[in-house]
Structure 1
């Protein structure tokens, strides 16, 4: 695994910082609409699964979930039994979590396992973490069997900048994930420590979750009692990296912070958020990172796995208490009680038929770009 040592901001990060120091950006003629049916129609959900989630590169985990060689973790969130591994050479892989003998699920549960071999619980066929079938009981019962033909089924996998991506499509293009990786190297995402992870089951369309992280209009309102006071209302900007979006929201962004061209200085003044198409959000707070992976289950249900990444493992009780406080504020308070709850309330309202479209204003243009990208894939 490549652990980044670079701490200088990228040119793109600096450009957003300079815009914020100048007061942010806003479009004066940006009122647009999105049909309510894109959130409530089961047929639309099925079409998105076929056209987007079955073919696009998807983030499955941070590199920090498997920090050392010889680790693996089952993953069921995307509708098929998957297995993420890091082999003895440190290379990440995503396989179908299925034994090639009789189709038995190979690894159970959802926890990370540390072992050099994966052994099927049914007939004890065993595989290395790079997917090779290495042994089976009574090989004499399979005359002429070539073990090289019966390795685990691999899926295209790409690790860059501290994230592990995969796709169900063998022709998937990972060039944009690679470009994003340069930004993530700037703050050393690959070298972060995984402090906590939790999966939320949210009764809302997955796009309502993405919408919440594509605009800052709600921050002073929805988060008034939590993080709202830390930000300036309406001071934001953003750009695109392929189908993905990069946005920045300022606290006290002065020109001096921009001119410093130093990541720690910039990070204290600006919260960068990366909205990775189709359904991943990465938020860079002053001293930790939250990664949220969205896994749609139905038109009105989505699983959201939240990872909190910190610079290093807590070395004292005081440090542990500090990170626990941050985790409880963000995951349990801001995200679960505010953002995810707002998405559920939105799903309830849209499903009622009370309105046939939503209205987007000048501070919500990120949502417009996102829905345009979804529509283009369909």
Structure 2
């Protein structure tokens, strides 16, 4: 049985029994934070070139000797799980002549990766294990020609990586106990899909940092499910955690009944800088944001379920949930709203975005960004 963290239980208790309301007031965010290319360049340097980021769920590579090419961050990357089950993130580049090693974007299952140009081959731990006509490379030390590896860490069902060699993964580990409580590392990947959104990446993060829009934007989809919901939120280092649940159901639960609490609460995590995890009672959506400019972001959505569907009925059940969220709620509503927001902000009509007390999570997020830019 998974064990909830004190923070998870505290949020549920605040929903069920109330608590002191956080001090909040109207605040503002400059429109230029979303529209200024120079601002995006500074964010790329201070955040995305330096900080650890989630690249995929562990479930993307469910067995050893798996490799998945990944181009979302603007460079050819390769996520692997080696023969011993350890995850790695490499540059997807052969060390011989710089050729892209693995083509496509789908998972490859093999004990070796073979370059399509001259057939240099690599084990899934990155070691160079073979090259044709080795006699034509006198003195070459194969141990010095492994794939270029980036810092990475797999923890609690998530694979994190960083471009900076001195990246600090402490904040990644801090949220691990929460995801262990959900059994994230043992879930099955049902679907994945990448959206190309014509909006600043922060507009999408903003949407998952407040519940003010749910009854309005999602009135025709998931809004009715949260009609009577109450939200509570807090922080874990630079990350934010929130929960929405029904007061009556939670107040009636016996203390410590984690399975019943899970059935009554939807948790959401905003992992700094640019990952969103929505933990519904019976499945998980992981969204990895990959900014490609001040007005464009790729969002890869992964749906994780308890186990692989064993019947057609089970598959249809999960497919319905996937279609509702990925295409309907996220793609058709949240990402559409972000695109419309970008269009409006680019017009120059307003200088500042105004945030109410139900949007304090957005303010905290932007304060965290500002602190990184100022110290960077």
TM-score when scaled to structure 2? Answer: 0.97
Give yes or no for the alignment of 1:137 onto 2:111: no
Distance between the aligned counterparts of 2:272 and 2:189, measured in 1? 23
Give yes or no for the alignment of 1:122 onto 2:117: yes
Match for residue 144 of structure 2?
Answer: 149
Identify the match of residue 160 of structure 2 among 153, 165, 168: 165
Give yes or no for the alignment of 1:30 onto 2:25: yes
* CA positional deviation for 1:254: 3.8
Give yes or no for the alignment of 1:266 onto 2:264: no
Distance between the aligned counterparts of 1:251 and 1:138, measured in 2? 68
Which deviates further from its counterpart, 281-290 or 230-239?
230-239
Contact 1:77 1:303 in 2 (8 A): yes
Match for residue 201 of structure 1?
Answer: 196
Distance between the aligned counterparts of 1:253 and 1:283, measured in 2? 22
* CA positional deviation for 1:27: 4.1
* CA positional deviation for 1:28: 5.5
Match for residue 230 of structure 1?
Answer: 225
SS of the residue corresponding to residue 165 of structure 2 reads coil
Distance between the aligned counterparts of 1:222 and 1:14, measured in 2? 29
* CA positional deviation for 1:266: 1.1
Distance between the aligned counterparts of 2:38 and 2:170, measured in 1? 31
SS of the residue corresponding to residue 221 of structure 1 reads helix
Contact 2:65 2:124 in 1 (8 A): yes
Match for residue 62 of structure 2?
Answer: 67
Contact 1:26 1:362 in 2 (8 A): no
Match for residue 364 of structure 1?
Answer: 359
Distance between the aligned counterparts of 1:258 and 1:167, measured in 2? 42
Match for residue 180 of structure 2?
Answer: 185
Distance between the aligned counterparts of 2:257 and 2:52, measured in 1? 31
Match for residue 303 of structure 1?
Answer: 298
Q: How many residues align?
A: 373
* CA positional deviation for 1:253: 5.1
Distance between the aligned counterparts of 1:180 and 1:154, measured in 2? 24
* CA positional deviation for 1:29: 3.8
Distance between the aligned counterparts of 1:308 and 1:260, measured in 2? 30
TM-score when scaled to structure 1? Answer: 0.96
Contact 1:20 1:253 in 2 (8 A): no
Identify the match of residue 275 of structure 1 among 270, 278, 286: 270
Unaligned runs of 5+ in 1: 1-5
Unaligned runs of 5+ in 2: none
Distance between the aligned counterparts of 2:15 and 2:197, measured in 1? 33
Contact 2:15 2:247 in 1 (8 A): no
Which deviates further from its counterpart, 167-176 or 45-54?
167-176
Match for residue 89 of structure 2?
Answer: 94
SS of the residue corresponding to residue 239 of structure 1 reads strand
Which deviates further from its counterpart, 172-181 or 299-308?
172-181
- Superposed CA offset, 1:143-202 (max 9, x none): 000000000001111011100000011111112211211110101000000000000000
Identify the match of residue 16 of structure 1 among 11, 14, 30: 11
Distance between the aligned counterparts of 2:215 and 2:228, measured in 1? 6
SS of the residue corresponding to residue 297 of structure 1 reads strand
Match for residue 340 of structure 2?
Answer: 345
SS of the residue corresponding to residue 113 of structure 2 reads strand
Distance between the aligned counterparts of 1:133 and 1:87, measured in 2? 13
* CA positional deviation for 1:23: 3.9
Distance between the aligned counterparts of 1:263 and 1:86, measured in 2? 32
Match for residue 321 of structure 1?
Answer: 316
Distance between the aligned counterparts of 2:226 and 2:336, measured in 1? 21
SS of the residue corresponding to residue 364 of structure 1 reads helix
Change (3 A) 1:171 1:258: farther
Contact 1:55 1:167 in 2 (8 A): yes
* CA positional deviation for 1:7: 1.8
Query: Please, what is the CA RMSD of the aligned residues?
Result: 1.3
Match for residue 53 of structure 2?
Answer: 58
